[in-house]
Chain A
Amino acid sequence: MPPSTDLLQGTLDLLILQTLAPGPMHGWGVALRIQQVSKDVLQIGQGSLYPALHRLEYKGWIESDWGNSENNRRAKFYALTATGRKQLETELETWERLSAAIALVLGRNAEASA
């Protein structure tokens, strides 16, 4: 089993928004995609995925519509809204700043302890 990584609070939202950026996708697709792209490091359980999807929908960042899946099953597809796209940009910026800062701190710590 791949190592499970606890997602930082709020990171899941970012991951979902980023995953939906290319085009509409259903819940299963989102989970699968995140798992694939992260090379199985990030496994999103449905227990956190669906509440997150609903939360984003209530916030108006994504919208949902019923459509047919690849194997012709009725499925619920989520797509980014305009607000969602803007939100994605801000979140990406924030994320980059944060990870840069963390990297900096970790790097310095490593030097100090060495």
Chain B
Amino acid sequence: MRKEWLSRLRFFFLLAFDKNKRQSELDEELQFHLEQATLANIAAGMTQEEARRQALVEFGGVERTREQCHEQRPGWQMGTVVQDVRYALRGFRCNPVFTITVIATLAVGIGATTAVFSVVDRILFRSLPYAHDDRIVSLGLVQSLEKQEFTLGGFFFDWQDNQKPFEAIASQGTMLHACDLVEANPAQLNCIHAQAGFLPLLGISPVLGRNFLPEEDRPNGPRVALISYGLWQDHYNRDAGILNRLIDVDGSPARVIGVLPKGFELPTLQAPDVMMPLALDEGIERKSSPGHPMRTFARLRPGVSIAQAKAEMEPLFVHTQSWIPREIRNDFHLSIRSLRDRETQDVRLMAWILLSSVLAVLLIACANVASLMMARGEVRERELAVRAALGASRGRLIQQTLTEAALLSLAGAVAGMALAEGLLRTFVALAPTGIPFLKRAGLDLRIALFTVLLSGVCGAIFGLLPALQTPRAAALAARATRFHKRAVLRRSLVVGQIAISMVLLTGAALLLRSFQNMQEQSLGMQTGGVFTVRIALPGFRYDTGQKKMAFYLQAEAALRRIPGIRAVGFSDSVPPGGWNNDERLGGFAPEGRRPIPSADNGGPVVTRGVTPDYFRALNIPIVLGRNFTEEDRSSSEYWVVLSRLLAARLFPGEDPVGKRIQKGQNGIWLTVAGVAENVKNSGLTEQDAPEIYYLRRSIAQDWGGRAPVSEVMSGAAPILIVDAVLPPKTVAPWVRSAIAGIDPTVPVETETLAQGVSKLADRPRFETALLGFFAFCGLLMAVIGVYGVIAFMAAQRTQEIGVRMALGATRLNILRLIAGEGVRLIALGGAAGLAVSLATAQLLKSLLYNVGSHDPTMYAAATVLLALVALTATLIPARAAMKVEPVVALREE
């Protein structure tokens, strides 16, 4: 065997280097055979001439034998591939426009699809990183102010006792909270509390150590903690001795009992550094109302659907509903959603839209490749016929075509992967926060392979069409009269491309308009020159309202001393956002009147705890009465400023200034100091809510903390709002150093108001930019498609045009002839696309702001754009056709 291999190898090299010698030896050998045959014939009595003729006849095709002898050579097949590749490359070099167009088209199709799929895969398709992820649900109450399910202690235990549809149910705290790791190397961490049953519910077990024991999940139980893999790795250098070590969290020791798996995320999509037992006191929770708020998750029993579970839980909910105060009871509902829904619901629509638009782009790309390959195939039909006539087998022709398609796909794939990588980076950089999983998205090789194959197949199938047909003798005659059948196919491809690109364009136009509306709306405040300063005070050191107030008042005074700062105010939120401290219009009763009774209690009221300079810093005009004054800050009275909307609701047709309002039944009395102009306060796209400004007074209760908070302040940390004359970039460092002068250890975050507002528009900007980009790609490729088809048809008809002109057609007639073809295709495709757009635009509705999903202006704009660009693409070849010289055209071929 080895010897055989050696001899093969020897021949391979011998042949590779000695091809000519081999060839002449073969010729000599065949020549010898021929001579012998002639001699034999002479011996049989033929004349010299006849003998030679007979021998030649018997011998048959010398060239064919020669070829066949060649084909016996080991590695011959590979040689032909190399030959095909060389031939294909030569062809590409001769036709760079074709090559570049195909590769670019493939690259955009492959790149965009791969990048987008990599992003949406986790959102739409990939399973969640928990065991039985399809059976895990989020359950709890929802109400008009909180759309994410939550439970309260008493509800949870009651449900847990009586529920049947779930095999496990457990809760975590409502949100991550900042906590401090106090040791030689201190750090601020994110902590979460969870029940002992929480990790088992998710099917997660610590990579090191163990989960909480039930006795640790009780009040006054041993204080234990699970730490994240990241913390273990970065802070403790993966020290296995971390188990049982005491770490100091927020000033009290906790024993580390385990390390969470790498990349562990809560079902709320947050990554905690430290997890501690929730340690609820069941007895107290059952009695207290409303009890401790939590996020509750459960695992359905196998075979139980969410609808069934909801039906079974409804009686339990109705039972517990009676614990909710009567006035607001109807606002609470039971909700059970699959975990995937909870995690991705608000981005799901966007993900689907992105995915479908990118698939549309891929379709256009494939159609383009197909169309280009067909055109090329048709042009080469004659070449193929010649090659077949010279003895190339069908297989050989197919192999050649496939080689070309494969080469193009390969080049397109390489370019596409580079593009995908770039696009993905752009997505991550551009994307707003809150798109789950995005930060960890990596290029998905499976989908890359899929797109490469898909486009390769597109190219191959359409490239093969001409090779598969028996090359016809007619093709050798080179009369361009038989392209009709395939021309129909190419025309419909173009119509499809135009239609798809029309759909993309209208979608993009609608989003663009909506985004523009959002950007141009009046916020009701100034954003230029204003910046916010957020200070994260470590809770364990600033543990009383007194200490916090002292710090903040010092900071306020220090900032006021900085040159170039016009006003320094406090608030707990910044427009266009706003807190809703669970207050409703019905909770406010003007003196002498009963509160407004209604089903949802008049709807939410936004509250803000501010100091007098807040209005000055944001330049919010006081339209009636007066602003808070510095003196009010030390008064014991509850002064309020109403927004114009709230004033109109509470005091329709009256002057509210100086009037008193009672907050809640038998609550405190508020005095109206003035009325401020409305400010955007429920996000950029939502309807504004009425707003009440409380004065943040200089007393400890008004500064939050874990000490009791005053009745009117939200628990949120105060934010400094600074209006500077100098650019924020200059002032911000001074602000930092001023605060460092008070306490050098507190982290300070500054952000201009414009940045903050712009961040809110991140999501719509992202959507608009992406859809716009895809629409652009789609349009570009569709136009290339139109151009290609028209140019090709014009070229095919050169002779016909020559004849027509010779018979008296004017150049205008010719222009009309060629361009008319294009106009028909564009009109057909555009109409089809418009119909599809109108039918599907409803889907975009929830993403649109102040623009209807059937906005005629935007549809008209998209149509005009498409028509203009596509017409230009037809006019170029049409003009070229118009300039055909009849004599030249007729003399051709």
Chain A interface (Cβ < 8 Å from any Cβ of B):
26-28, 31-32, 45-47, 50-51, 54-55, 57-60, 69, 71, 73-76, 83
Q: A28 vs B73: C-alpha distance in the bound complex, in angstroms?
A: 21
In the complex the two chains form, what is the Cα distance from A27 to B28 in whole Å? 12
Which of A45, A46, A60 contacts B30 (CB under 8 A)?
A: A46
Complexed CA–CA distance, A25 and B649 (Å): 116
Minimum distance in angstroms from A109 CB to a CB of chain B: 36
Alpha-carbon distance A60/B7, docked complex (angstroms): 6
Given A27-B29, A58-B11, A73-B32; A47-B64 close (CB under 8 Å): yes
Complex: how many Å from CA A27 to CA B35?
Answer: 12
B8 touches A50 (CB 8 A): no
Contacts of A47 in B (CB 8 A): 60-61, 64-65, 68
Of B4, B26, B61, B71, most buried by chain A (CB within 10 Å of CB) is: B4
Answer yes or no: B282 CB below 8 A from chain A CBs: no
Shortest Cβ gap from B486 to chain A (Å): 38
In the complex, what distance in Å separates the CA atom of A19 from the CA atom of B137?
A: 82
5 closest A-B pairs by CB: A60-B7, A28-B36, A51-B68, A55-B72, A60-B4
CB distance from A34 to the nearest CB of B (A): 14
In the complex, A57 Cα to B61 Cα: how many Å? Answer: 22
0/1 interface trace, chain B 586-628, chain A, CB 8 Å (1 if under)? 0000000000000000000000000000000000000000000
A27 touches B32 (CB 8 A): yes
Within the complex, the shortest CB–CB distance from B56 to chain A, in Å, comes to: 11
A50-B32 contact given A58-B8, A60-B4, CB 8 Å threshold: no
Answer yes or no: B655 CB below 8 A from chain A CBs.
no
Nearest CB of A to B191, in Å: 75
Interface residues on B, range: 20 to 34
Compute how far the CA of A69 lies from the CA of B25 in the bound complex, rounded to whole angstroms: 16
A96 to B61, CA, bound (A): 35
Chain A nearest CB: distance from B15 CB in Å?
9
Known contacts A55-B72, A71-B39; 9 additional CB pairs below 8 A are A27-B29, A46-B33, A46-B59, A50-B30, A50-B65, A50-B68, A54-B72, A58-B72, A59-B7
Contact B69 A58 (CB under 8 A): no
| Contacting residues, chain B, for A59 (C-beta < 8 A) | 4, 7-8
Cα(A31)–Cα(B3), bound, Å: 28
- Taking the closest CB of chain B, its distance from the CB of A89, in whole angstroms, is 16
Which residue from chain B places its CB closest to the CB of A75 in the assembled complex?
Answer: B32
A96 to chain B, nearest CB (A): 24
Q: Is the CB of A73 within 8 A of B8?
A: no
Identify 11 residue pairs between A and B in the complex whose beta-carbon atoms are under 8 Å apart, listed by A's number: A27-B33, A32-B40, A46-B60, A51-B69, A51-B71, A60-B8, A69-B32, A71-B39, A73-B35, A74-B28, A75-B29
* Interface-centre pick from A26, A32, A51, A75 (highest chain B CB count, 10 A): A51
Bound complex: CA of A40 vs CA of B74, how far in Å?
33
A76/B35 contact (C-beta < 8 A), A50-B69, A51-B69, A60-B7 known:
no
Contact of B74 (CB < 8 Å), options: A51, A58, A74, A76: A58
Closest Cβ neighbor of A29 among chain B residues: B36
B29 partner, pick from A31, A45, A58, A76, beta carbons under 8 A = A76
A73 to B37: give the CA distance in the assembly, Å: 14
Q: Is the CB of B72 within 8 A of A45?
A: no
Q: Is the CB of B33 within 8 A of A28?
A: yes
B3 touches A58 (CB 8 A): no
Interface contact A50-B3, CB-CB below 8 Å: no
Point out the residues of chain A lying under 8 angstroms from B11, CB to CB. Answer: 57-58
Contacts of A73 in B (CB 8 A): 32, 35
- Residues on A with beta carbons closer than 8 Å to the beta carbon of B71: 51
In whole Å, how far is A52's beta carbon from the nearest beta carbon of chain B? 8
Per the bound structure, the CA–CA distance linking A47 and B71 in Å amounts to 13
- Measured between alpha carbons, how far is A51 from B26 in the docked complex, in Å? 10
Q: Which residue of A lies closest to B76 (CB)?
A: A58
Q: Whole-angstrom distance from the CB of A28 to the nearest CB of chain B? A: 4
Q: Known: A28-B37, A60-B4. Is A51-B72 also a contact (CB below 8 A)? A: yes
- List B contacts of A32 (CB < 8 A): 36, 40
Mask, B789-825, CB within 8 Å of A = 1, is 0000000000000000000000000000000000000
Residues of A within 8 A of B36 (CB): 28, 32, 69
| Whole-angstrom CA separation of A83 from B3 in the bound complex | 8
Contacts of B1-41 to chain A: CB distance below 8 A: 3-4, 6-8, 11, 25-26, 28-30, 32-33, 35-37, 39-40
Q: In whole angstroms, what is the CA distance A79 to B660 when docked?
A: 121
Question: What residues of B have a CB within 8 angstroms of the CB of A57 in the complex?
Answer: 11
| CB neighbours of B40 from chain A (8 A) | 32
Chain B neighbourhood of A50, CB < 8 A? 26, 29-30, 33, 65, 68-69
Query: Do A83 and B32 form a contact, CB below 8 Å, given A46-B59, A47-B60, A55-B72?
Result: no
A57 to B25, CA, bound (A): 14
Q: Could you say which residues of chain B place their CB within 8 Å of the CB of A27?
A: 29, 32-33
* Cβ distance B1 to chain A, nearest Cβ, rounded Å: 9
Bound complex: CA of A91 vs CA of B409, how far in Å? 45
Nearest B residue (CB) for A27: B33
Q: Which of A45, A54, A55, A74 has the most CB of B within 10 A?
A: A54
